[in-house]
Amino acid sequence: MAERESGLPRSAEAVIIGGGVNGLSTAFQLAKRGLRDVVVLERRQLGAGATGKTGALVRCHYANTPESELTHRSLDIFRNWEQRVGSGQCGFDPVGFLQVVSPDHEASLRKNVADQQTRPGVRACAGRRRGKRQG
């Protein structure tokens, strides 16, 4: 690491801005690939953004493909934490996920479920509410 000024290195092989899950995962993956000079810059504290507020739900059903791809790939890490990360457990509990949508969103939900069905390791299906709506 190059000479420091004000506590920060003057140069690094990789500089990541943001200490949320994406920044820290990127730093982790770079380190895993052999980079030893990775700096994460965080303006508040680690997890200060959305990461610290998450409901911790793990699901692959997103309206946009890149997000679905990202979460699908991350499933392997959640499922095999010790092997992929090197130690510990993340507490992943694969209890399933139920999403209820209004009839207006049924078509996009069905498309999304069809996309999920093409992905290995993800079981997804769409159903329909039985009976008449009350009230």
Ligand X SMILES: Cc1cc2nc3c(=O)[nH]c(=O)nc-3n(C[C@H](O)[C@H](O)[C@H](O)COP(=O)(O)OP(=O)(O)OC[C@H]3O[C@@H](n4cnc5c(N)ncnc54)[C@H](O)[C@@H]3O)c2cc1C
Picking from 79, 87, 71, 72, the residue whose alpha carbon sits closest to that of residue 28 is 87
Nearer to ligand X, 1 or 17 (CB): 17
Nearer to ligand X, 9 or 107 (CB): 9
Which residue carries 């946009």 as its tokens? Answer: 64
* Runs of H (alpha helix) within the chain: 21-32, 65-79, 81-85, 106-117
Nearer to ligand X, 66 or 131 (CB): 66
Nearer to ligand X, 52 or 107 (CB): 52
Of 35-54, which residues contact ligand X (CB under 6 A)? 41-44, 48-51, 53-54
Query: 38: which DSSP letter?
Result: E
Which residues are CB-contacts of 74 (< 8 A; sequence separation ≥ 6)? 58
Picking from 62, 80, 60, 87, the residue whose alpha carbon sits closest to that of residue 72 is 60
String marking each residue 75-114 x if it binds ligand X according to CB under 6 A: ----------------------------------------
List 1, 8, 14, 17, residue binding ligand X (CB under 6 A)? 17
> Is residue 32 within 8 Å of residue 38, measured between CB atoms?
no
- Select the span of 16-24, 29-37, 108-116, 119-127 touching ligand X (CB under 6 A): 16-24
Nearer to ligand X, 39 or 126 (CB): 39
| Residue ranges in contact with ligand X by CB under 6 A | 17-23, 41-44, 48-51, 53-57
